[in-house]
């Protein structure tokens, strides 16, 4: 192409409309947070121009050039310090050049500019524009911009628009131009405003792959196609192969393995959505690699608006990879910030609900595969139960636990638990412990086992917090087996002679006096069968939460709150009857046995955080038993 200086017709110089001068100042100094955005904006404008001419060719297939390959060509020149982007799209007439690049011609944009200026002063540019100002973003990096264009109309002339982004621009006719638009950005090359990095081929390729990889036309950088992965989420599921899904997932996630699950869906109401979500095979959080960032990108018309926005989806869904594309998103004029938070909440609600439905379907379709998913990502679901009230019910249905009725290593759902509840069973019972073996060897499940009640084994500390937030499931209260207010039906009398009511009360009073503040109360148990005693908690907190609160103390020895602990004693057990006899004949020895009984119960509850006193006492008891 010849330069403007080579044309015979002198350029016409025009003043920018006052609003445009103001807008340029906002764009250059306030609007965009990252200068690389100009590449995305110019690429999007080129894509729009190609879409328009494609529509014209569909309507009038006899138009010249209807068989052309539509594409975007970008070239950079390090020596000349230029960035050039060209398309063979709709092009512009002289009037369109003036309207689009010199004036604010569309309805409502003056009011927009007023709002934009006020927002720029306050630093809050969360506004929606009435027209695209992406072209002006080039002036963030340009000392001069040259636009060469010719409309698709067969009798159209070519024109050159040129400006340094100050107060004027020139328009000059030019012969020999092809259909479309070519924009040459002469990059600033001095001081901190220097922008010669955008004359680097690798830099432009990276930006295209980051923001514009899925525009629907080929994008070439120095004659090499950059956008090689298709926007498969815009196609129907039946038109996409497994290989394409796998390639796409690896591209967006940098994962070397295929995804575990994928969810590809579209929705027209209440909001236009095209979403493609993936669940990875594994999570780095599981290996202590730190809290991972969200993994879902937000697109509008195949152009990325935000990379992994934090508040797009509930935080517990941060393990999900993929993207969400919606034509309904209202953007501020820089496309970098969403304005309508109510609409985003609606989008989040639709996506989250559809994802939960998908997981529920997968749990029924392939329970073994879902159990493997739960083993890896169950902690995220539990986090959601605690933090996401709106979806707590659906999340709780996805949880899986070992129980006294399942084989070791096998898990069941709360729904399945409820289906097996016995007639007259008042609640869903659970108990926390470090392992299945430790729970089953402890005293808490024996009362429930004797009544043939199923017990959920909470093998992670977070489980008690989850159940505490749920409070109930399917109308059935969740009850910890270590709580003092456990309401169980009576059993037939067990083996052994039971202390009389008077002796039981006297022994309980003596033991409480002996323990002091270490134990809140002592009482005869209605639940114990074989064990001599156990610790139960009163009030809101389970033993698990007592352990966590004690461990979180920053100074001094870790202790539990003795006032909330009750020691229940089995008044049929030989040890309890022996302590009752010794308290009147050898009170010192009875006190040692009572202390050891309490420590054993505290140890079984996981509340004995400092065992030194117990070990010393146990050695004395061993010496006495051995006659040393």
User: What are the DSSP calls for 571-624, one per residue?
Assistant: TTSHHHHHHHHHHHH-HHHHHHHHHHHHHHHHHHHT-----HHHHHHHHHHHHH
In this prediction, residue 541 carries a pLDDT of 63
CATH number at residue 591: 1.20.120.790
Domain co-membership, 210 together with 261: no
Chunked mean pLDDT (size 10), the chain, 628 residues: 52 83 72 81 92 92 91 97 97 89 54 54 39 74 96 92 90 95 94 88 95 92 93 94 95 94 92 95 82 90 85 94 87 56 87 98 97 96 96 98 96 97 93 91 88 94 91 94 82 74 95 93 89 83 64 49 86 94 93 93 83 88 84
Domain co-membership, 154 together with 20: yes
Domain co-membership, 218 together with 238: no
496 within domain boundaries? no
Per the rule left: phi > 0, alpha: psi between -120 and 50, beta: everything else, 542 is beta
Spatial strand order in the sheet of 476-480: 412-413, 400-403, 455-458, 428-432, 476-480, 472-473
Are 459 and 434 contacting, i.e. CB atoms less than 8 angstroms apart?
yes
Angle between the N-to-C axes of helices 201-211 and 37-59, in degrees from 0 to 180, rounded to the nearest 10: 60
390 within domain boundaries? no
Domain co-membership, 365 together with 258: yes
Domain containing residue 52: 4-225
Q: What are phi and psi of 182, to 5 degrees?
A: -125, 125
Domain co-membership, 507 together with 459: no
**Coil, helix or strand at residue 562:** helix
H runs (alpha helix) in 392-456: 392-398, 414-419, 436-441, 446-450
Domain co-membership, 296 together with 313: yes
353 within domain boundaries? yes
The CA-based angle 590-591-592, given to 5 degrees, is 90
Q: How many domains does the chain have?
A: 4
CATH number at residue 67: 3.30.565.10
CA distance 464 to 382: 10
Domain co-membership, 63 together with 177: yes
Domain co-membership, 218 together with 240: no
In this prediction, residue 3 carries a pLDDT of 45
Domain co-membership, 534 together with 549: yes
Strand ranges in 105-249 using DSSP code E only, listed in sequence order = 142-150, 158-163, 168-174, 180-187, 219-221, 224-225
The DSSP code sequence of 525-559 is -SS-SSSSEEEEE-SS--HHHHHHHHHT--SS---
Domain co-membership, 206 together with 66: yes
CA-atom Rg of the chain in angstroms: 36
Domain co-membership, 142 together with 241: no
Spatial strand order in the sheet of 565-569: 521-524, 565-569, 533-537
CATH number at residue 282: 3.30.230.80
In this prediction, residue 118 carries a pLDDT of 57
CA distance 309 to 345: 13
CA distance 152 to 89: 8
């Amino acid at each position: 192409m010849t330069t403007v200086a080579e044309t015979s017709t002198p350029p016409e110089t025009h003043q920018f409309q006052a609003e445009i001068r103001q807008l340029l100042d906002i764009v250059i100094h306030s609007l965009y947070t990252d200068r690389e955005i100009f590449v995305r904006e110019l690429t999007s404008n080129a894509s729009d121009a190609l879409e328009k001419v494609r529509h014209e060719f569909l309507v009038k297939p006899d138009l010249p050039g209807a068989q052309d390959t539509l594409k975007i060509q970008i070239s950079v020149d390090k020596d000349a310090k230029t960035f050039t982007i060209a398309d063979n799209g709709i092009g512009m007439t002289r009037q369109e050049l003036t309207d689009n690049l010199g004036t604010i011609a569309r309805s409502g944009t003056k009011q927009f500019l007023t709002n934009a200026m006020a927002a720029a002063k306050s630093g809050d540019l969360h506004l929606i524009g009435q027209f695209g100002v992406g072209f002006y973003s080039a002036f963030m990096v340009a000392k001069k911009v040259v636009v060469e264009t010719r409309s698709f109309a067969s009798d159209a002339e070519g024109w050159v628009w040129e400006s340094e982004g100050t107060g004027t621009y020139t328009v000059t006719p030019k012969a020999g131009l092809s259909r479309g638009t070519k924009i040459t950005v002469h990059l600033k090359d001095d001081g901190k405003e220097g922008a010669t990095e955008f004359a680097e081929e690798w830099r432009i390729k990276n930006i295209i792959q980051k923001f514009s990889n899925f525009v629907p036309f080929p994008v070439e950088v120095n004659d090499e196609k950059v956008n090689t992965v298709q926007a498969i989420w815009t196609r129907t599921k039946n038109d996409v192969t497994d290989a394409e899904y796998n390639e796409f997932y690896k591209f967006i996630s940098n994962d070397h393995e295929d995804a575990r699950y994928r969810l590809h869906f579209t929705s027209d109401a209440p909001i236009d959505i095209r979403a493609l979500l993936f669940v990875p095979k594994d999570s780095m959080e599981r290996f202590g690699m730190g809290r991972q960032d969200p993994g879902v990108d937000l697109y509008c018309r195949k152009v990325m608006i935000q990379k992994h926005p934090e508040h797009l989806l509930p935080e517990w869904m941060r393990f999900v990879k993929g993207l969400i594309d919606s034509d309904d998103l209202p953007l501020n004029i820089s496309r970098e910030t969403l304005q309508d938070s109510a609409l985003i909440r609606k989008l989040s609600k639709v996506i989250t609900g559809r994802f939960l439905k998908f997981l529920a379907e997968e749990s029924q379709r392939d329970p073994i595969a879902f159990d493997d998913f739960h083993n890896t990502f169950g902690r995220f679901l539990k986090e959601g139960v605690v933090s996401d009230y709106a979806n707590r019910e659906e999340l709780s249905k996805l949880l899986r636990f070992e129980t006294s009725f399942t084989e070791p290593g096998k898990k069941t759902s709360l729904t399945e638990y409820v289906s097996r509840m016995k007639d007259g069973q008042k609640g869903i019972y659970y108990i926390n412990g470090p392992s299945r073996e430790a729970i089953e060897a402890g005293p808490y499940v024996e009362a429930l086992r004797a009544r043939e009640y199923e017990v959920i084994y909470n093998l992670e500390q977070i489980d008690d917090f989850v159940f505490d937030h749920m409070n109930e499931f399917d109308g059935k209260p969740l009850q910890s087996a270590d709580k003092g207010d456990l309401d169980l039906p009576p059993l037939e009398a067990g083996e052994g002679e039971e202390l009389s009511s008077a002796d039981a009360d006297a022994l309980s009073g003596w033991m409480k006096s002996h323990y002091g503040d270490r134990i809140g109360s002592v009482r005869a148990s209605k639940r114990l069968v074989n064990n001599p005693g156990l610790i139960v908690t009163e009030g809101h907190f389970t033993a698990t939460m007592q352990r966590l609160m004690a461990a979180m103390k920053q100074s001094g020895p870790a202790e539990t709150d003795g006032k909330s602990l009750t020691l229940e004693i089995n008044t049929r057990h030989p040890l309890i009857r022996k302590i009752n006899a010794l308290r009147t004949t050898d009170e010192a020895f009875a006190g040692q046995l009572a202390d050891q009984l309490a420590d054993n119960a505290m140890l079984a509850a996981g509340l004995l955080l400092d065992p030194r006193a117990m070990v010393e006492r146990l050695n004395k008891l061993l010496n006495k038993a051995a006659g040393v």
